[in-house]
A = this chain, B = another copy of it.
Amino acid sequence: MTARKSLSQRLLRGDLMAAACPSREVLRHVTSRWGVLVLIALESRTCRFSELRRMIGGVSERMLAQTLQWLERDGLVSRRALEVVPPHVEYSLTPLGRGVAAKVRVLADWIEENTARIADGWVAAG
Contacts and interface: CB of A to CB of B under 8 A. Distances in A.
Contact of A6 (B33, B56, B103, B116): B116
Judged by DSSP, the binding face of A is: helix
How many copies altogether? 2
A27 B108 contact: yes
Interface in A4-60: 6, 8-10, 12-23, 26-28, 30-33, 36-37, 40-41, 55-58
Contacts of A16: 36-37, 40, 108, 111-112
Bin chain A's interface residue count: 35 or more
Interface of A: 2, 6, 8-10, 12-23, 26-28, 30-33, 36-37, 40-41, 55-58, 73-76, 96, 99-100, 103-104, 106-108, 110-125
